[in-house]
Amino acid sequence: MGRTENRSAREVLDDHLRESQTGSVEADLARNYAEDVVVLMRGEAHHGHEGVRGLARLLRQELPDASFEYCSCVVAREFGLLEWSGRGGQAYVQDGADSYVVREGKIVAQTIHYTVQRSSAP
């Protein structure tokens, strides 16, 4: 793909969203996340690639075999905001919101918020 540090925040987030759709966490980490990334979610700080891996596992547990819809992705300078929804297994999310800080072609900080709801129909 070339040098990652020359990519804009929009390019990084577009690549991240493509990888999120395919489920390739390792490729996403290698290309789009700084090794010392900090992710804030549910009152906790998760650090580095291992922290992102753990959060990806959690989302797969909460929404198995999920499909996602990206409602909007706004980028201004080094900041991004993604609004999303998802459905998987017997659960769904309607209020997903992730924010990002991108520097030198990598995500260095992220916040994640979503509420898992149980489906009443199989």
Domains and CATH numbers, the chain: 4-118 (3.10.450.50)
Confidence of residue 1 (pLDDT cuts 50, 70, 90): very low
Whether the per-residue pLDDT at 3 is higher than 70: the answer is: no
Residue 9 carries which DSSP code?
H
CA distances from 98 to 30, 40, 109 (A): 19, 10, 10
How confident is the model over 55-67, as pLDDT tens digits? 999 999 999 999 9
User: 80: helix, coil or strand?
Assistant: strand
pTM higher than 0.85: yes
Distance CA 100, CA 88 (A): 24
Place of tokens 């706004």: 74
Strands (E), the chain: 33-41, 44-47, 67-76, 79-88, 91-103, 106-113, 116-118
List the beta bridge partners of residue 92: 87, 117
| Average pLDDT over every residue of 77-94 | 97
